[in-house]
Structure 1
C-alpha cells in the first residue's frame, strides 16, 4: 500500500498559496509548483538525505510517496482556486446585475421627470439625476 507523505502535501499547499496572483496567472503557478515541489522536491529530498547520511539506502518507493503527496496537495490547491474563481465570477455577475438594475431605475426616474434626452442617448448636459454631481473638466 502506498503511503501519502503529509509533510510534502502541506509544503505543496503552502507553496501554491504563497503567491497572491490574479486568476489569469494561476496556470504559471501550477506549473511552477509542479516542477519545484513535485519533481525537484521529491527527487531532491531523496538525494539530500543520501548526502547528509551516506549510510541511508536510496529508496524509489519513498520518491513515489513524496510525488503522490505533492500531487495530492497540488490537486487540492487547484480545486480550491477553481472554487474561489467560480465564486468570484458569480459575485461579479451579481454585482453587474445590480448595477444594471440601478441604471434602469435611474432612467425610469429621468423619464418620469419628462426628460427624454437620456433615454434617446442625447447629451443635453443633464445626463444624471439631481442627487448626483456632474463635474466636467471644463468646470475647472
Structure 2
C-alpha cells in the first residue's frame, strides 16, 4: 500500500479550505444554499480521498466510508456546534454531508470496479495469468515453438532442439564433453553420410547370435517335458 502524493496534497488543501469555511464565522449562505454547499463539499472531499491510498478496492471503500462519511461528515457538525462561531447544530447539515459523501463514494467505487475489469480483460486478451511474471509469459507467447524457439527449445542458454547430438557420458565441470572407453558422439547427419547401401546389414548376424546363445544356454538345462509311459 502506497500513498499517491498528488491526491494527498489536493485532499489536504480542500480539507483546510472546507474547515475554514465551515468552522469559522464566514457566512456563505448568501451566495449558495447551505445544504447544497455541504453536499458539494463532501462530494469533492470523498472523490479525492478515495484515490489517496493505492490499495485494494474493498479496503479503500471501508477507509473512505469511515474517514469522509463518518468522521468528517458527522463529527464536523459536533465540532462546529462547540466552537464560538455563531453557528448552531443542524441535523440536516449532517444528512447533506452523508449524502454527498455516499454519492462520491459510489462514483469512485463504480469507476474503480470498471477499471479493474478492463485491466483483467486486457490480461486475458494477452494470455497473462495475472500477477508477477507477466512479462516473461508475453515473451514466451511471441516465440514460435515449431521453429524451436522458447524455453528448452533452442533459445538462448538452452540446448538446441532435435540437433541429433547424442551425449553419451554427459559433460564435466568445465562444460566439455567427457569421453570414456573411446566412446564418441556422432550426429545423425554424419551417420547418414557414412552409410553405404552396399554394406551388408548386421541385423541377421545379431539374430543368429541371439538364437545361438539361446540354444547353447538350453543345453545345460534338464529336460522337464513329460514323457509317455510305456507298458
**Fold match by TM threshold 0.5:** yes
Deviation at 1:27, TM superposition (A): 0.7
Q: Check if 1:86 corresponds to 2:117.
A: yes
Partner of 2:42: 8
Measured in 1, the distance between the counterparts of 2:110 and 2:77 equals 28
Partner of 1:108: 146
Q: Secondary structure at the match of 1:5?
A: helix
> 1:128–1:134: 8 Å Cα contact kept in structure 2?
no
- Please report the TM-score for the alignment, with normalisation by the length of structure 1: 0.70
Structure of larger gyration radius:
2
Deviation at 1:40, TM superposition (A): 1.2
Partner of 2:156: 133
> 2:80–2:88: 8 Å Cα contact kept in structure 1?
no
1 or 2, which has the higher helix percentage? Answer: 1
Partner of 2:65: 34
Counterpart among 93, 101, 106 of residue 70 in structure 1: 101
Deviation at 1:48, TM superposition (A): 1.8
Q: How many residues align?
A: 119
> 2:152–2:158: 8 Å Cα contact kept in structure 1?
no
Counterpart among 65, 88, 92 of residue 57 in structure 1: 88
Give RMSD over aligned pairs.
3.3
> 1:5–1:65: 8 Å Cα contact kept in structure 2?
yes
Deviation at 1:127, TM superposition (A): 2.2
> 1:12–1:33: 8 Å Cα contact kept in structure 2?
yes
What are the ranges of 5 or more consecutive residues in structure 1 without an aligned counterpart?
A: 111-117, 119-125
Deviation at 1:44, TM superposition (A): 1.2
